[in-house]
Every structure is written in structure tokens, then in C-alpha cells.
A and B are shown apart, each in its own frame.
Chain A
Amino acid sequence: MPTLRINGKTVEVQAEPDTPLLWVLRGELRLNGTKFGCGIALCGACTVHLDGEPIRSCITPISAVGTRDITTIEGLKGNEADALKTAWIDLDVVQCGYCQSGQLMSACALLKKLSQPSDRDIDVAMSGNICRCGTYPRIRAAIHWAAQKKSG
């Protein structure tokens, strides 16, 4: 039975090895904060961290994950995550909210890599995450806001 390491816990799952991580999280482990949007890595709603790197869980079979560390929105913690969540609230980013788990996962990975990202850095890191409600201007502002607060 495949074993995964999710949010710091080791779990055994029933799913076949070709099952995308997304559907193990949602279908079997009931971690429904990670969302299904497109199924082919075009929208970013399913973004999780694999050893701290953002990946699209909808196209990542569990066989490719092994026992490396997976972090989902439910387990997203730390200085960057806290700063981002505060900024997301302060700047009223969310609307329908369906994409926001993925947005936060991508933004957090960006801030961990670059503490003061430029607009161009944000474009590169965040353009894989679609938001149909159009929260982009606030996402950009909130990432800058979080970066500033963290350093301040």
C-alpha cells in the first residue's frame, strides 16, 4: 500500500499508484482545501508543495511523490504563510475563494524563495494560477504587502 507524507504525518492510502495526488487528497484523505479546476495543470487550483516547491497535484501521480514532504493548504504554516494570510485579509483579496488555496500555495513558495519579489517575479510565479473573479490586482498588492511586513 502506498505511503505518503502529508502535512508532517505519514499516511497509508488505498489508491493505485497512477492516481493523481489531488484525488488522493480529496477523494481518500478528505483534505478538500486543495481544489480541482482543470485536470491538466493549466489553472493552479490544485497547487500543493512537494519538498517546499509548488507543484500541480492534478497531474502528479502518487508514484512520483514517494515519501517526500507534501504540504497542503490545511498544513500551510510559518512566517511567510502567516504574513500572506494577514495580507490577504487586510487587502480583502478573496471573492468566491475557489482558487485561493492554490494562490496562497504559489505565493508562499515565492516568498520563501524571494523575500522581496518584484512585479516581474510575481508575474512568473503566479501566472499559473487562474482566478475567474479577477482578484489579481489585490493578489499582487498582498504579496508586496506581506513581503514588506515580514521584513519590517
Chain B
Amino acid sequence: MKRRTILLGGAGAVGALVVGWSVLPPRQRLTTARPLAVRDAQAALNGWVKVGADNSVTVVMCKSEMGQGVHTGLAMVLAEELDADWAQVKIEPSPIDKIYNNIATAVDGLPFHPDSDGTIKAVAGWLTAKTMREIGVMVTGGSSSIKDLWLPMREAGASARAMLIGAAAAQWKLPASECRAEAGKVLHPSGKRATFGELAALAAGQSLPRKVELKDPARFKLVGQPVRRIEAASKLDGTARFGIDVLPDGLHYASVTMCPTLGGRVARFDGAGATGLPGVKKVLAFDGYNGGTGGVAVIADTPFRAMRAVKQVTIEWDHGAGSAVSSDDVYRQLAQTLDQENGFGYYSHGDVDAALKSAAKTISAEYRAPYLAHAVLEPMNCTVQFKDRQATVWASTQVPGVARSAVAKVLGIDTDKIDVQVQLLGGGFGRRLEADFIAQAAAIARDAGSVPVQTIWSREQDMTHDFYRPACVSRFKAGFDAAGKLLAWHNTSAGQAIVPKVLERSFGLPGAGPDKTTSEGAYDQPYEWPNARIGHAIVDLPVPVGFWRAVGHSHQAFFKESFVDEAAAAAGVDAVAFRAALLARHPRHLKVLRRAAELSGWGQPLATASEGTKRARGVALHQSFGSIVAQVAEVSLTPEKRIRVHRVICVIDCGLAVNPNLIRQQMESGIVFGLSAALDGDIVITKGQVQQSNFHDYPVLRIDECPLIETDIIASREHPEGVGEPGTPPIAPALANAVFALTGQRLRALPLKVV
């Protein structure tokens, strides 16, 4: 909590706004503007929980479940303070309301070093925009859900518990202070007892407690336990409903072809070849919405009839400005930018220029990372019904409020005429922070009459019309004294900025100024550089870029941890010892690093594999989304020189571990996601067109190449931090560092290819 207070204290007027939010009485995040809808014999005790006469405890869930386990984790936090019976807990999606807006991402978006205690005025303008964007948005992203709702969920549970106890006390005419709650019941020492269900209606009539008492974490029964995922069974029998699975009455389907050039549009089209085909209802053109690309849709009575017919439409494209850009030019342009400027300085300490001048030895290197697609397994899809000037939207989305605004704009109706029903997400990873496909589905449904229409993208459309992880080039210089001690660290990277573009396309706000997400992972790290300067230069290019799991950290960790390894080698020091020497005042980081080294057998010889191939280890340490992760990868090379990853040791300090099992899952998930990118991920753009289209040319990791993963969680009582993304950044550098140890080759470009 210290860090947050300091950051906000230094943030001036905007900071005060955020502080205002965070110090409002709990009730301000306790009840919705409009009362929650309830079924018969169900009572809403606040904006987060309903109790039914059948004893069910329904947690009203404002976060999207995309595999990260957030429904389970958040329900545990509320159920803990409520003293609910976990077996009776259910989940139901929340409406859109201010109390569900995400505050933690706003705070985490501030461009300060975690250790910083000063004001950075240069970013005030940026800060305002960013803060305004985040406050007022319901968003599941930025590994923020648990830290965002840790207190609100606890307060909601404790408040509801107090109301249930109050109801029992009133009924029994006994002091509330003598009653307690346990496993879905209120008990009195006299032997009186009542279930939550019996008390629900009476409890709803109680006034909201002015003050609630939260449990001492030492008394937690549920939080901290490896509780199983609440929705698991539904995902094993076909009953789980993702966006693509909704089946409203009269459902029609649309299949689309978008301009192959990103940002392009339809000049003209001839739908004659499609209109006569079986089941075809309509052929229409649509614009690019919310940063998307224009195209043609065919609406038909079944999905395959729509897919078959859309291929028969003849389309002439207006390729637009996007056709000027190719990946090779992008890398060249980013490198040229670095020839000319140092970019916006996110971190500065000491006098790096003087230190480099006085250095007995310097090393330098250039790294790069390509564009990446999200390739979520459930392709983009959205179902919209526009009837009687009202709309229902069924969507897998991380941003229901943004989706609603996008649909309102397309349909020309007020947001209060739109009901957004968030479904399970078949993967998110940041792709579903965008509303392009939702606005598009609304435009298609608008032209379909009053029937619901599900727009489904093919894998090819999905792969070629993503918002890509930005390509990035990064240069480093390090200086050492005659004894080999590190004196200076200089790093500048160049690439596109995401946040200004998101502000434009999702909120209609002008986006300008520095963007913390470009440099995160480079500047906001714990290493105690004697002299350092870390900056980033934004290069504006007509390639749509977006948030990809771990965002800036995803490539900056690769650059930084690889060059730390280069510096260690140049200094002639062991890679773990070199890092440890830079962490004297960071005991939590040091502990994570040392634990990973210990568990991996760092420094001990590795057994040669049975087939006679040599193995080597590489290490990386990285902090992101509040959590500290160290990984050690063990690799060998196949005869074809492909990197084979045998084992990954992963150690995380994420503060208090709400559900160790879900944290382990997320570490495994982040590592596998990062391995796909490190080994193969490469989106190549030629004349504005993405060259990869499906899993044959954009391969992702499969089970036969998946390593053993062992995760260790550091025990902690600190505030819980993010886990959805922090597992991803360290794996690419751990791999690259292991390849260096194995072969002496330093791989400075992603994906990693040994020559």
C-alpha cells in the first residue's frame, strides 16, 4: 500500500482525483445506481451479492472469465468475509455500473518507477487522459482484477454478513454482537441458528452498515486455499456458454471478408454470386469501426451457408494509407529513430554519459521483437439483435462498457437502450479489450431487420485483422570499470504506442504524449543501476497495435534480461550473482531470484539427455503488474537446431496468494503463451497486409513441445498483485540466456532461431 500512497501523493490534481475515489466511504463501491434485478425469493444485499431463499449465494461478477480463474478467485474473497458455504456459491454477470469500474489499472498505469517517490510533471497531461480513460471503464485486464476488487469484495461480503447477522439478531431479539456467521448460517451460543436463505428477505430490509469489520487474514478459511475452479464441470460436458455459443430464437449468422490491407475499406462489391445461394438473406458492406477494417458480410440462416456465400462476393478494395507499410521498413524506421533520438526519459539516475565516458570497457547491442497476433482460440464473434430501437448484445468481451458505447454509436441509440450480456471468453489475452468486432456485428445486425445475427470471423480473418503486439527495436550500452564492475546502463527503445490509439478508437479522445506501456519492463525494474538512463521513442505507423498479454513487458523483458546476461558475461560474473549484486536494497526480488536458482540446481552440472544432447540453463528475473517472477529454463537443441525446452522453474512473489492453484495455472499459462512467441511468433506485414493466416504459418506451442513447469509461490502477507500476465515476460530471455550458455550464440531477435 505504501507504493500506491506515494504515487498518488506525487500525482497532483489527477492524483487527488484517484485518492478521492480510493478514500470514498466503502458504500460508494457497495451499491449500484439502479437496484440489481432479482429473481423470486432472492435478495440483493448490496451491488455484489444476492442471497436466495434456497441458501444460494450469488456473487454479482463484473470481471470477465477468460481462463484466468477470476470468477473463482473473486467469489472466494467475497465468500470469505461473508462466511458463506462455498458449495452454495454461484456466479452471475453484473450489469454495467460505476461501482464496477476498474481503479487498479489506472493506478498501475501511472508512469512511475516502483521505487520512485517524486513528482513527474512531464507526464501530467498523459496521466490525465489515462486516468480519465480508466476511471469510468469496466475492464478485465492488466492483471488487475484481484488487486482492484480485493477490498470492495471483502467489504461487500463483510457488509452482507453484518446484515444477515443483524436480521437474525432482530428476529431472535438478541444482541447482534452475540451472533456469528459460519458456513452459510448465523449462530447464537444459545443454540439458535438460521440459514442465510431463511434470513435473506429480512436482511435485505436492514440498512447498510456504516462500518464493516474485515477479518484478520490469519483467520481466513477460504482465501489462501487451492480451491477448484467454480465453472470447471461446465467446460467438460459442452454446457459452458462462450460468446459463439449463444442461441437466441431466430438466430441468423453472418460471415465476413475484410479488406486484406489493415484499415482499408470496400470501394465497391458485387453480391450477385452470393444472393442466390441457399439460405442467404442479405449481402452488405460495412465500415471499419473502433479501429477495425471495412469489409463485406453475408447474412444467412446457418453459419456454413454464410461462410460459403461470402467467398462468392466480388469485392474491389480501397486499400488506403495502410498499404505503405511493411515489416522490413518498420524495423529500419525504428532503428533510424534510435540513430536520431533518445526518446522520452522514463528513468534517469546519476550521470550515465560521464560514467560511460570514464568506463574502462563498454558493450552495446541492438535487440528487436516482431508484431504478434493474439490468436485466441475462440475467433472474434458477437451476436446482436436490434429490435424496436433497442439492442441486445451477446459478447465475449473484456470491456462491456466500451462495447455498449460502440454499439450505441453504430445504431444511433442511447446506451440505456442496450443490454450487454457478457459470455465466457474463449481466451482474451488483450484481444477482447477491443470493440471493433462488436461494433461491426451491430452494423451487420442493423441491416438484418429485427432478427438476432451472430457475426463469426474465420480464423484467417481473425489472424489478419488483429490489434498486434507492437514491433520494437531496443539499443543498450553498458560500461564497466577496470575491475569489471558495472558503472552505467543506457537503454532506448523505439516502437508504436498503444494507449493513444486506444484512447482514439475506443473513447474518441485525442491521444498524445508518453505512454508508459511502451517502456514498461525496461525502466520500472528493481535493479540498482549506479548510473542509468532508460527511454523510449514513439514512432507512429499505420499498423493497428493493441494490448497483448503483458503488453510492453512482453518484449522489454526479453531485451533487458538478455542484455543483463550480456553484461554479466562481460563482467565475467555468474548470471545469478550479477543480478543479486544489483538487488541489495530489494529483498523480495532477491529472495525470488535465489529461490529459483536453488530449485533449478543453478551452478550444478546438468545431466546429458539420454540421446546424448547437451543441456544448459538460463535465468531471468522480471517484475510486472506488481508481481516478481524468476524463471530458469533448461534447454537443448534438436539436430535441426530447434530449441527444445525441457523444464522451467518458476518462482513468484505476488503478495498474498488468494488461490495458489489458480496462480500456478497462470504461471503455466503465461509460460506456454510466452514460449509460443519466443519459439515461433512472428507476424510479418507486407504492404499493409498480414502474411500469416492460420496455425500452419503462425504456429503455437503444442503438447509435444511443452516443458515440465514447476512453480513455487513465495509466502506473503502483502497486498495481492497480478498473476494473469507476469508469467509471460521472463520466459523468452530465460530461453535466450540458456541458448547462449549452450552454444555461445547470443540471440537478439524474436522469435529465437539458432543458426
Q: Cβ of A85 and Cβ of B459 under 8 Å apart?
A: no
Q: Which of B239, B240, B377, B456 contacts A130 (CB under 8 A)?
A: B377
Q: Which of B229, B236, B701 contacts A104 (CB under 8 A)?
A: B236
Q: Cβ of A27 and Cβ of B253 under 8 Å apart?
A: yes
Q: Please tell me if A51 contacts chain B, counting CB pairs below 8 Å.
A: no
Q: Cβ of A92 and Cβ of B708 under 8 Å apart?
A: no
Q: Please tell me if A68 contacts chain B, counting CB pairs below 8 Å.
A: no
Q: Cβ of A92 and Cβ of B706 under 8 Å apart?
A: no
1/0 per position for A76-96, CB-CB distance to B under 8 A?
Answer: 100000000100110010111
Q: Please tell me if B704 contacts chain A, counting CB pairs below 8 Å.
A: yes
Q: Cβ of B703 and Cβ of A42 under 8 Å apart?
A: no
Chain A: minimal CB distance from B602 (Å): 22
**In the complex, which residues of chain B have a beta carbon less than 8 angstroms from the beta carbon of A70?**
none
Chain A: minimal CB distance from B154 (Å): 24
Please report the C-alpha to C-alpha distance between residue A33 and residue B694 in the assembled complex, in whole angstroms.
22
Q: Cβ of A95 and Cβ of B706 under 8 Å apart?
A: no
Q: Cβ of B232 and Cβ of A37 under 8 Å apart?
A: no
Q: Cβ of B247 and Cβ of A30 under 8 Å apart?
A: yes
Chain A: minimal CB distance from B17 (Å): 35
Q: Cβ of B304 and Cβ of A15 under 8 Å apart?
A: yes
Q: Please tell me if A11 contacts chain B, counting CB pairs below 8 Å.
A: no
**In the complex, which residues of chain A have a beta carbon less than 8 angstroms from the beta carbon of B543?**
none
**In the complex, which residues of chain B have a beta carbon less than 8 angstroms from the beta carbon of A38?**
459, 694-695
Q: Please tell me if B451 contacts chain A, counting CB pairs below 8 Å.
A: no
Q: Cβ of B424 and Cβ of A34 under 8 Å apart?
A: no
Residues of B51-94 contacting chain A, CB below 8 A: 65-69
Q: Cβ of A94 and Cβ of B236 under 8 Å apart?
A: yes
Chain A: minimal CB distance from B441 (Å): 16
Q: Cβ of B378 and Cβ of A35 under 8 Å apart?
A: yes
Q: Cβ of A127 and Cβ of B304 under 8 Å apart?
A: no
Q: Please tell me if A19 contacts chain B, counting CB pairs below 8 Å.
A: yes
Chain A: minimal CB distance from B116 (Å): 34
1/0 per position for A1-34, CB-CB distance to B under 8 A?
Answer: 0000000000000011001100110111011111
Q: Cβ of B377 and Cβ of A95 under 8 Å apart?
A: no
**In the complex, which residues of chain A have a beta carbon less than 8 angstroms from the beta carbon of B458?**
39
**In the complex, which residues of chain A have a beta carbon less than 8 angstroms from the beta carbon of B67?**
94-97, 133
Please report the C-alpha to C-alpha distance between residue A23 and residue B244 in the assembled complex, in whole angstroms.
12
**In the complex, which residues of chain A have a beta carbon less than 8 angstroms from the beta carbon of B192?**
none
Q: Please tell me if B139 contacts chain A, counting CB pairs below 8 Å.
A: no
Please report the C-alpha to C-alpha distance between residue A24 and residue B307 in the assembled complex, in whole angstroms.
13
Please report the C-alpha to C-alpha distance between residue A17 and residue B670 in the assembled complex, in whole angstroms.
42
Residues of B654-676 contacting chain A, CB below 8 A: 661, 665, 668-673
Q: Please tell me if B709 contacts chain A, counting CB pairs below 8 Å.
A: yes
Q: Please tell me if A36 contacts chain B, counting CB pairs below 8 Å.
A: yes
Q: Please tell me if B245 contacts chain A, counting CB pairs below 8 Å.
A: yes
**In the complex, which residues of chain A have a beta carbon less than 8 angstroms from the beta carbon of B231?**
97
Please report the C-alpha to C-alpha distance between residue A133 and residue B631 in the assembled complex, in whole angstroms.
18
Please report the C-alpha to C-alpha distance between residue A135 and residue B237 in the assembled complex, in whole angstroms.
17
Q: Cβ of A132 and Cβ of B237 under 8 Å apart?
A: no
Number of interface residues of B (CB under 8 A): 63
Q: Which of B236, B672, B700, B704 contacts A88 (CB under 8 A)?
A: B236
**In the complex, which residues of chain A have a beta carbon less than 8 angstroms from the beta carbon of B191?**
none
Q: Cβ of A94 and Cβ of B238 under 8 Å apart?
A: no
Q: Cβ of B253 and Cβ of A92 under 8 Å apart?
A: no
Chain A: minimal CB distance from B63 (Å): 14
Q: Cβ of A97 and Cβ of B235 under 8 Å apart?
A: yes
Q: Please tell me if B233 contacts chain A, counting CB pairs below 8 Å.
A: yes
Q: Cβ of B377 and Cβ of A101 under 8 Å apart?
A: no
Among B253, B429, B669: residue with most chain A CB under 10 A? B669
Q: Which of A16, A26, A130, A131 contacts B695 (CB under 8 A)?
A: A130
Residues of B204-242 contacting chain A, CB below 8 A: 226, 228-229, 231-242
Q: Cβ of A33 and Cβ of B237 under 8 Å apart?
A: yes
Q: A33-B239, A134-B673 are in contact. Are A88 and B706 (CB under 8 A)?
A: no
**In the complex, which residues of chain A have a beta carbon less than 8 angstroms from the beta carbon of B239?**
33
Q: Cβ of B236 and Cβ of A138 under 8 Å apart?
A: no
Q: Which of B238, B459, B672, B708 contacts A39 (CB under 8 A)?
A: B459
Q: Please tell me if A47 contacts chain B, counting CB pairs below 8 Å.
A: no
Task: Report the nearest B residue to A125, measured CB to CB.
Answer: B703
Among A31, A73, A122: residue with most chain B CB under 10 A? A73
Q: Cβ of A27 and Cβ of B304 under 8 Å apart?
A: yes
Task: Report the nearest B residue to A84, measured CB to CB.
Answer: B236
Q: Which of B68, B234, B709 contacts A95 (CB under 8 A)?
A: B68
**In the complex, which residues of chain A have a beta carbon less than 8 angstroms from the beta carbon of B703?**
122-123, 126-127, 129, 131, 136, 139-140
**In the complex, which residues of chain B have a beta carbon less than 8 angstroms from the beta carbon of A100?**
235-236
Please report the C-alpha to C-alpha distance between residue A39 and residue B278 in the assembled complex, in whole angstroms.
21
Chain B: minimal CB distance from A10 (Å): 20
Q: Which of B242, B303, B375 contacts A27 (CB under 8 A)?
A: B303
Please report the C-alpha to C-alpha distance between residue A43 and residue B257 in the assembled complex, in whole angstroms.
22
Chain A: minimal CB distance from B380 (Å): 12
Chain B: minimal CB distance from A23 (Å): 4
Please report the C-alpha to C-alpha distance between residue A138 and residue B424 in the assembled complex, in whole angstroms.
21
Chain A: minimal CB distance from B501 (Å): 24
Please report the C-alpha to C-alpha distance between residue A19 and residue B702 in the assembled complex, in whole angstroms.
28
Please report the C-alpha to C-alpha distance between residue A125 and residue B104 in the assembled complex, in whole angstroms.
43
Q: Please tell me if B302 contacts chain A, counting CB pairs below 8 Å.
A: yes
Among B236, B425, B428, B673: residue with most chain A CB under 10 A? B236
**In the complex, which residues of chain A have a beta carbon less than 8 angstroms from the beta carbon of B34?**
none
Q: Which of B228, B376, B459, B694 contacts A132 (CB under 8 A)?
A: B376
Q: Which of B66, B425, B669 contacts A134 (CB under 8 A)?
A: B669
Q: Cβ of A94 and Cβ of B235 under 8 Å apart?
A: yes
Q: Cβ of B229 and Cβ of A92 under 8 Å apart?
A: yes
Chain A: minimal CB distance from B239 (Å): 7
1/0 per position for B249-287, CB-CB distance to A under 8 A?
Answer: 000010000000000000000000000001000000000
Please report the C-alpha to C-alpha distance between residue A95 and residue B65 in the assembled complex, in whole angstroms.
9
Sort A-B residue pairs by CB-CB distance and give the 4 closest, nearest first.
A33-B238, A134-B672, A96-B67, A98-B426
Q: A24-B304, A96-B426, A131-B672 provided; 17 other pairs, C-beta below 8 A?
A: A32-B238, A33-B238, A35-B244, A39-B459, A42-B694, A45-B377, A74-B237, A92-B229, A94-B232, A95-B67, A96-B378, A126-B703, A127-B703, A130-B702, A132-B377, A134-B668, A135-B669
In the assembled complex, 21 residue pairs joining A and B whose CB atoms fall closer than 8 Å, in A order, are A15-B304, A23-B304, A74-B237, A88-B236, A89-B233, A94-B229, A95-B67, A95-B665, A96-B377, A96-B425, A97-B240, A126-B704, A127-B703, A130-B695, A130-B700, A132-B427, A133-B673, A134-B701, A135-B668, A135-B669, A137-B709
Instruction: Write the residues of chain B forming the contact surface with A, with a CB cutoff of 8 angstroms.
Output: 65-69, 226, 228-229, 231-242, 244-245, 247, 253, 278, 302-304, 307, 375-379, 424-429, 456, 458-460, 661, 665, 668-673, 694-696, 700-704, 706, 708-709
Instruction: Write the residues of chain A forming the contact surface with B, with a CB cutoff of 8 angstroms.
Output: 15-16, 19-20, 23-24, 26-28, 30-40, 42-43, 45, 72-74, 76, 85, 88-89, 92, 94-101, 104, 122-124, 126-140
